[in-house]
Amino acid sequence: MRGVSTENGNGAPRIDIVDAGVDFPIFDAKSRSLKKAVLGKAGGRIGTESKVPIIEALRSINVSLRKGDRVALVGHNGAGKSTLLRLMSGIYEPTRGRSFVHGKVAPVFDLAVGMDPEISGLDNILIRGLFLGMTKKQMEARIDDIAEFTELGDYLSMPLRTYSTGMRVRLALGVVTSIDPEILLLDEGIGAVDAEFLAKARDRLFELVERSGILVFASHSDEFLADLCETAIWMDHGTIREHGPLREVLHHYKGHDVLAEFESR
């Protein structure tokens, strides 16, 4: 993995991000129109010191996660949730500070990416597995398990373009949960599956995290988060506004005790 030392090694998985920042240069934006530093409600801070406008997507991020952590990522659109997930996966290396990720990372970000619509579901499973560091043999041994979990059956030999969004989500989740990842990073979007499958996926994710790893889950659905996570990180304007028990963070973020409402239902 290209990530920051995402070596598969011995020892428990961990993520340590120290004082990290992520700046995006925006080459095609006219710097003139961005002369005034904008600090709106959505998005990170846009700086203009250099010639190329820069979006400070993340600033002063300090996170340290250990085995067994199940973390919810909450925040407005553009608050930096996805960027933080990609920092954790090692796709982005911090422009400032350091990030250290130890363990086998399995990201589920954009479901369309890394999936070839023209080839069959089975081939896509294989490619995705290879991308995540598995061997061909290991993947072949898991195909049955994935087929059973995703309930896609004969559809697996059909080209992926014939799949619905929900079926793609099933496939992607099937792959990442079958390869025993140590660090599982889920971005919003897995909400496309039906409730029945979600319950099944939840059990599997739960089991997985119990066994071996760290889960970080970005979502706007409080119900999913309440099901899967224990703690939460509240992202705001590219910084971590709060990190603590899920209930408290969600309460502060939403302004009311969301979990209590679920319980009272």
We find the least distance from the C-beta atom of residue 171 to another protein, in angstroms, to be: 15
CA angle 200, 201, 202 (to 5 degrees): 90
**Could you tell me the smallest distance in angstroms from the CB atom of residue 264 to another protein?**
27
Give the residue carrying structure tokens 């994710």. Answer: 205
Nearest to 175 by CA among 140, 218, 210, 203: 140
Burial of 173 (0-12, 13-18, 19+ CB in 10 A): buried
Closest separation between CB of residue 183 and another protein, Å? Answer: 10
Nearer to another protein, 130 or 151 (CB): 130
Instruction: Give the neighbor-by-neighbor strand order of the sheet with 70-74.
Output: 105-108, 183-186, 214-218, 70-74, 231-236, 239-245
- With respect to another protein, which residue has the nearer C-beta, 119 or 143? 119
Q: Which is nearer to another protein, 7 or 144 (CB)?
A: 7
Binding site for another protein (CB under 8 A): 1-6, 16, 18-19, 23-25, 27, 59-60, 62-66, 69, 71, 86, 89-95, 98, 100, 105, 107, 109-110, 112-114, 116, 118-119, 123, 126-127, 130-133, 135-136, 231, 233, 239-240, 243
Residue 63 beta carbon to another protein: minimum distance, rounded to whole angstroms: 5
Checking phi first, is residue 78 left (phi over 0); if not, alpha (psi -120 to 50) or beta? left
- For another protein, give the closer residue by CB, 37 or 112: 112
Compute the least distance from the CB of residue 245 to another protein, in Å.
10
- Alpha carbon 187 to chain centroid, angstroms: 4
Please say which residue, 15 or 201, places its beta carbon nearer to another protein. 15
